Structures are given as structure tokens and as C-alpha cells.
Amino acid sequence: MEILFDKHRFYAGPDPQDPLAEITFQQQDDHTIVVDHTFTDPSLRGQGIARQLVDRVAAYAREEGLKVRATCSYARKVLSEDQFSDLYIS
């Protein structure tokens, strides 16, 4: 499934207004973004789509030289893994 970027979110699905999966984030300051929401339609659950969305946010943060906080419980769980230790601020 193709994951697309739109201002402050990555999403998947044919309709950007009603995505099948998305992860949203807000700019906290010049150096930090906050992931505040992850959603996957029930028809896509169990396929690793939510994980792919978190991975895309992490890649975006690295490319932009940003750190990441998360208020979304799923994103917080994934971002606390060792591979994100250079990005994640708990």
C-alpha cells in the first residue's frame, strides 16, 4: 500500500479526506514534532500498516533533523524501541 505525505501527516488510501490509515503529527518547536494520532481501518489491521506509518514519520524526522515525542500510545510504544533512540524523546 502506498503511503503518501500531506502537511503534518502520512496516510494511505484513495481518498485523502477519508484515509484508510494515517498518522498525524504537529510541530512542537523548531526541533521537535509530536505524533498525536495513528489510525488503521479495521480492514487493514494486522498487516503492519500502522508500523509502516511510524517508520515513515521516523524517516521524515531524521531527514529534517527533528526529534520526536508521542502522545499517541501506539506511536509511543514503537518509538521507544532501540532503533529510534536517536529520535525519540519520552
Residues 19 and 53: beta-carbon distance below 8 Å: no
CATH second-level architecture of 4-84? 3-Layer(aba) Sandwich (3.40)
Residues 18 and 7: beta-carbon distance below 8 Å: no
Burial environment of residue 32 by CB neighbours within 10 A (0 to 12, 13 to 18, 19 or more): middle
How is the beta sheet containing 21-29 ordered, strand by strand? 4-6, 9-12, 21-29, 32-40, 67-70
Q: What is the dihedral of CA 44, 21, 19, 12, to 10 degrees?
A: -90
pLDDT digits (tens, 9 = 90+) for 40-86: 999 999 999 999 999 999 999 999 999 999 999 999 999 999 999 99
| CA–CA gap between residue 18 and residue 84 (Å, rounded) | 29
pLDDT digits (tens, 9 = 90+) for 11-34: 999 999 999 999 999 999 999 999
Domain ranges of the chain: 4-84
